[in-house]
Structure 1
């Protein structure tokens, strides 16, 4: 079949739909093109960039009839680095898009034809929400720079104002960058695996304002590391901890396994849902604290606890769901594979005077069968796995438990739908899915799914 289109050819077409990545779908003579920045209902003029067998990609040139839902882009660089793919949409449209994305995912992957997907719960102010930054450090024109990688590359784009990040984190990154320049620290060179600093990580307590700085270095030490740590604390008084993390492997994984405190505490503190949490360098903590509270409240509401239940909290992290669950349950058992996280979870429980919890280090798929063998029965199971979803062995062990309710907190609707299908095949009914927008301006979405034993 002769190819109808070629690179650099210009087309005009109607944006009919959006992909799950937020790309507009334009069909010309039955051939599908994907365009970044399009909104359904708009007629766009675009240039062909790539043509495949079944679809192609085009670059937006002009919008003939801009949608009422179109917003002026606040951060053009955010589009270049592939993060804020939805910022050209009104926030109402973003929330509707995410609801429809979850609905379509559960239909296609989970096979749930009539799945009740509720309206996405959004933010009052969907900017400046991120409490954590992981910033690459590279050399540009002989100068140490910080920023983000251009989309689909490892070419650094210097960025001083990342608009979905808390402004104090932006300020801290620039000050730390200047301190590194002052001490003539070299930036990491990925091509020859040389240079000293690979990443700067800044974690900030949303409520406390406390800041932890992690310098990810290509080796065991950094020249003048103590003086650098002192200078960072002088420049940024909110910093309570400066940590050096060793990552000397040729890898895209940001942090290595070994960290040591250069100055200050081994953790910083923050508050969520009325509890104080100690958070270490290796501990996971949701990057949008206000919306994490919304998410966790939805999970706790779905659990429908009376105070008599024994609850499992799988993939518990530092206990941010565990402790609020324990307030309404008889007892909560929780597991997490990261030892430092369980160390923090025990510390957090003790600090908040929560005694009806049991934490254990290990993979969820290994720990749950062991608890099954000891005769522990769970009335409610709450899971909050990473993007890959649940291990099949864990699913089988959870089904063996036969809890009356399973509450699935997910950062990936695709794996959530896949796993919910397994539970449905075992006799559980999917009651509803509640999307929660923890990542405004991006295509990422969290959700809470409730499954009840039939």
Structure 2
């Protein structure tokens, strides 16, 4: 069907094709080919035979919409969530969990081979099985619900549809905690009763933008933070009541309802008046209870504020961090650097079996949380620095190399741990890591494509890839975390510094050639 279009290398929009799904894309979409022309089809499962409509056609590939499953795959299942196809959160809920784990294991392996240029047989020999979940539901300890209005003007909460800012109403997300539904119902009912407006991205008017909910899985403590567009555009805002300020009409009544939710510990507002996709504002006001909640991870107690970075899947975080500690191979004497340290979860976990640990993080509030978490847990062998890893690390190295540093051991640490954002490590950070020549590097990654790129750079600089283990931190999505161990095998300083940017450019070239978007 439609083969007459193949001469130009593309199909026409709205053209219908029948295709067998033989592969899986980076985000879990099904991939099929018609005479060598690739179709990327969201919601199609490997092994399906489907009818699909061309939505966007390129020279060598096209994006298509799944119209009908003609022959279902043995790996296809009924999605538990009724709006899984519309919602952008769970891309592969219609694929069996066992097949998801294989997809994610293969994704990490193939990116390391293809983008990193490592030998496939060698990678297979050092790669450990993915760490999956026994029960991959209700695992998220954090949810951020956008608030909008339906056609009748009634407030709604939910999640954005994939690649849009259209809100799909969600009453109960199956990967979130059960308390979320109760809290959202209280907030929405209060907005209806007191005529509280939802924020409108188009006009910039309206009060309530998002509802943030966090829960400590060990402590049971719950936090609610309402993100509001507070100020000149909202005539009801700014009225004083009692000892506080009324940020939301009927605020006292809302607090009375929310504080009855079992485990409620903290109720606050975050002021965000900017026209931006950033959810949280930096100005936080506690309305009731504590400014933070507490939770326990790896035997350590952490305070979590509305702005704190804290892994959203506690059960898998224990496994992932446990693997990182295992790969660090600490005996109690080592000097360790933890770059992109957040509130110090990995740093403080390693401090228990290291000589001294250094944590670096760009967010000032996270560094303050990390310092307080160290005090709370009686850890005295941890030093935290605020700034970009690619700035702090080179500055420290230059001072230490010039004799201007109190701790010379930090100049050549035993272990460097990195847990960067999706864009991976900055080239300056990688260059300084190679200059510091740690015995071991432990790389925790949330994007296996940028991980592969950085591994190639580090191995060209004198390291050998020794172990890789994926971890399914986000079941039902296409994302996968990884933990990698590298060991120094050469005393030479990397002769590839000048090649760092070249390799990063090559990564983006590969991603572009595959028809995917380069993360970060």
TM-score (norm 2): 0.84
Q: 2: distance between equivalents of 1:106 and 1:207?
A: 36
CA contact (8 A) 2:10 2:60 kept: no
1:295 matched residue in structure 2: 320
Q: Does 1:342 align with 2:367?
A: yes
Q: 1: distance between equivalents of 2:10 and 2:226?
A: 52
344 and 57 in structure 1: CA distance in 2 versus 1, 3 angstrom threshold:
same
Stretch deviating more after TM superposition (14-23 or 215-224): 215-224
Matched position secondary structure for 2:83:
helix
| Deviation by residue 1:127-155 (Cα, 9 ceiling, x = unmatched) | 11111111111111111111112222222
1:232 to partner: Cα distance: 4.3
Q: 2: distance between equivalents of 1:418 and 1:225?
A: 53
Q: 2: distance between equivalents of 1:392 and 1:232?
A: 50
Matched position secondary structure for 2:345:
coil
CA contact (8 A) 1:102 1:117 kept: no
2:3 matched residue in structure 1: none
Matched position secondary structure for 2:259:
helix
The equivalences for 1:67-86 within 5 A come to: 67-86=73-92
Q: 2: distance between equivalents of 1:201 and 1:418?
A: 34
The equivalences for 1:12-411 within 5 A come to: 12-114=18-120, 115=123, 116-140=126-150, 141-220=152-231, 222-224=247-249, 226-227=251-252, 230-372=255-397, 373=400, 374=405, 375=408, 376=410, 377-411=412-446
CA contact (8 A) 1:225 1:262 kept: no
Stretch deviating more after TM superposition (90-99 or 376-385): 376-385
Q: 2: distance between equivalents of 1:435 and 1:271?
A: 24
In structure 1, stretches of 5+ residues that fail to align are none
Stretch deviating more after TM superposition (66-75 or 191-200): 66-75
In structure 2, stretches of 5+ residues that fail to align are 1-6, 232-236, 238-246, 490-520
Q: 2: distance between equivalents of 1:391 and 1:148?
A: 32
2:458 aligned to 423, 443, 446, which one?
A: 423
448 and 134 in structure 1: CA distance in 2 versus 1, 3 angstrom threshold:
same
1:386 to partner: Cα distance: 1.3
Matched position secondary structure for 1:58:
strand
Stretch deviating more after TM superposition (233-242 or 345-354): 233-242
223 and 68 in structure 1: CA distance in 2 versus 1, 3 angstrom threshold:
closer
Q: 2: distance between equivalents of 1:62 and 1:78?
A: 16
CA contact (8 A) 1:229 1:263 kept: no
1:243 to partner: Cα distance: 1.6
Matched position secondary structure for 2:360:
strand
Q: 1: distance between equivalents of 2:358 and 2:56?
A: 52
Stretch deviating more after TM superposition (278-287 or 23-32): 23-32
Q: 1: distance between equivalents of 2:163 and 2:370?
A: 36
5 and 422 in structure 1: CA distance in 2 versus 1, 3 angstrom threshold:
closer
448 and 4 in structure 1: CA distance in 2 versus 1, 3 angstrom threshold:
closer
CA contact (8 A) 2:145 2:159 kept: yes
1:61 to partner: Cα distance: 3.3
Q: 2: distance between equivalents of 1:133 and 1:207?
A: 17
CA contact (8 A) 2:419 2:443 kept: yes
Matched position secondary structure for 2:432:
helix
| Deviation by residue 1:339-368 (Cα, 9 ceiling, x = unmatched) | 111111111111111111111222212222
1:3 to partner: Cα distance: 6.4
Q: 2: distance between equivalents of 1:237 and 1:108?
A: 49
CA contact (8 A) 1:311 1:379 kept: yes
178 and 379 in structure 1: CA distance in 2 versus 1, 3 angstrom threshold:
same
1:229 to partner: Cα distance: 5.3
Aligned residues: 454
| Deviation by residue 1:183-238 (Cα, 9 ceiling, x = unmatched) | 32110011110000111111111111111111111125523474155224334242
Q: 2: distance between equivalents of 1:299 and 1:94?
A: 23
Runs of 4+ in 1 over 4 A off after TM superposition: 1-4
Matched position secondary structure for 1:99:
helix
Q: 2: distance between equivalents of 1:61 and 1:328?
A: 55
1:171 to partner: Cα distance: 2.5
Q: 2: distance between equivalents of 1:70 and 1:223?
A: 46
1:72 to partner: Cα distance: 1.1
